[in-house]
Amino acid sequence: MPNSVLQPVRRRRRSRAKRPVLLVAVALLAAAGAFAATQHWASAHGKPRHRNQSATLTPKLVSAKSLAELRAAASEQQVATRAPFAAGTRLLLPAAPKLQHAGLRRITAPAAILVNASTGAILWTKRPHQRRPIASTTKIMTGVLALEHLPLTKVIRVNPLVTRVALNREGLRAHERVAVWKLMEGLLLFSGNDDALQLAISTAGSRGAFLQLMNEKASELGLRDTHYTSPSGVVDRGNYSSAYDLAALARYAMAIPRFRAFTRTHIAHVKWAKPTYAKTYVNKNQLIGTYRGADGVKTGWTTIAGHCLVASARRGRTRLIAVVLHAPDPYGDARRLLNLGFANS
């Protein structure tokens, strides 16, 4: 009977069981060929064959003491490569101020100093070693330590404690992620106490550890009239320095290019993550943009400390630093001191 179009046709099934076996065999042959070619190339170029490489790849155990020493050495090397002066360098020279009797108009500040930052020479003084509260000029040390220990591009998460710091703060939000360089803008231009605390925690792990680091650095730089109890200067009790020590610290700080780049900025427009989107920092140092050559350093004020100003200006190859503490007329005092220095340089 002939096949009808409605009659089902039985198709012969092709065996697929052998396909995976064939594919595996081909892969093995290709791998063997590649390995043989590699060994041939290594022999041709004089590279020894290693049949057992487990011995050479096994890592050697390092003791905890050795690991700590390696980390300490790496940290010291990192700081040394950024340090503007060799360890033990005297930041201010112990010579008599050569402009002490130059007929300077009255300085209103009870403690002040003028130094040549290019040479370290002291030019004029008024109670230079008198220990006084220094308000936000404390942030000079905070900025120096942050630059020496933190990469500017590092992004950190804001600690909730930072948002509750007293008085002047820029408004950091808990857990937001912020680059270190943005915190430095807020620290040195806006003078944010929240920026200071966050940089302290990010640098040393805690506020207490950072205070220890600050005082160790002060001792290392020979700042004998200085003691820190705050990374921002918002607390006056036990937080003090002198005009002499602040001038020495400012000379050290202004020798760091990145520090100068921040303090000489008049206005900074900074992009920010939503919902903030952008911030504008205006330098509180009124000499920036109004006094020729002014490029730093830091202002400060509290009820107890009064108006404090560490001012820096450069003209030609001469850089001068003037410090006035508890000054009724801080900018007038600073201008008179700087003018005296430049007129006799």
Single pTM value for the model: 0.77
pLDDT computed for residue 9 by the predictor: 42
Structure confidence at residue 279 as a pLDDT band (50, 70, 90)? very high
Q: Is the pLDDT of residue 49 over 60?
A: no
Which phi and psi (to 5°) does residue 320 adopt? -115, 150
* DSSP-assigned states of every residue in 288-308: TTTSTTEEEEEEEEETTTEEE
Percent of the chain with pLDDT over 70: 76
Which phi and psi (to 5°) does residue 207 adopt? -60, -45
Write out pLDDT tens, residues 232-269: 999 999 999 999 999 999 999 999 999 999 999 999 99
Question: Out of 61-65, 112-116, 158-162, which region has the weakest mean confidence (pLDDT)?
Answer: 61-65
Write out pLDDT tens, residues 159-174: 999 999 988 999 999 9
Q: Residues 126, 182, 191, 232: which is the catalytic one? A: 191
Higher pLDDT, 61 or 241: 241
Are 278 and 270 in contact by the 8 Å Cβ rule? The answer is: yes
Q: Is the pLDDT of residue 4 over 50?
A: no
Which phi and psi (to 5°) does residue 263 adopt? -70, -20
Exposed, middle or buried, 242 (CB in 10 Å: 0-12/13-18/19+)?
buried
Higher pLDDT, 20 or 151: 151
pLDDT computed for residue 167 by the predictor: 86
Q: How far apart are CA 139 and CA 130, in angstroms?
A: 20
Q: How far apart are CA 92 and CA 116, in angstroms?
A: 9
**What mean pLDDT comes out for the span 312-320?**
97
Write out pLDDT tens, residues 188-238: 999 999 999 999 999 999 999 999 999 999 999 999 999 999 999 999 999
* Assigned token pair, 61: 């155990």
Q: Residues 126, 136, 182, 298: which is the catalytic one? A: 136
Task: Decide if 191 is catalytic.
Answer: yes
Question: Out of 1-10, 33-42, 294-303, which region has the weakest mean confidence (pLDDT)?
Answer: 1-10
Q: How far apart are CA 16 and CA 6, in angstroms?
A: 29
**What mean pLDDT comes out for the span 181-192?**
97
Q: Is the pLDDT of residue 10 over 60?
A: no
Higher pLDDT, 69 or 137: 137
Question: Out of 72-76, 100-104, 256-260, which region has the weakest mean confidence (pLDDT)?
Answer: 72-76
Are 325 and 132 in contact by the 8 Å Cβ rule? The answer is: yes
Structure confidence at residue 63 as a pLDDT band (50, 70, 90)? low
pLDDT computed for residue 325 by the predictor: 98
**Nearest Cα to 258, choosing from 296, 223, 284?**
296
Q: Is the pLDDT of residue 52 over 50?
A: no
**Nearest Cα to 306, choosing from 106, 112, 143, 104?**
112
Q: Residues 18, 63, 75, 139: which is the catalytic one? A: 139
Q: Is the pLDDT of residue 59 over 90?
A: no
Characterize the bridge pairing of strands 155-157 and 306-315: unpaired
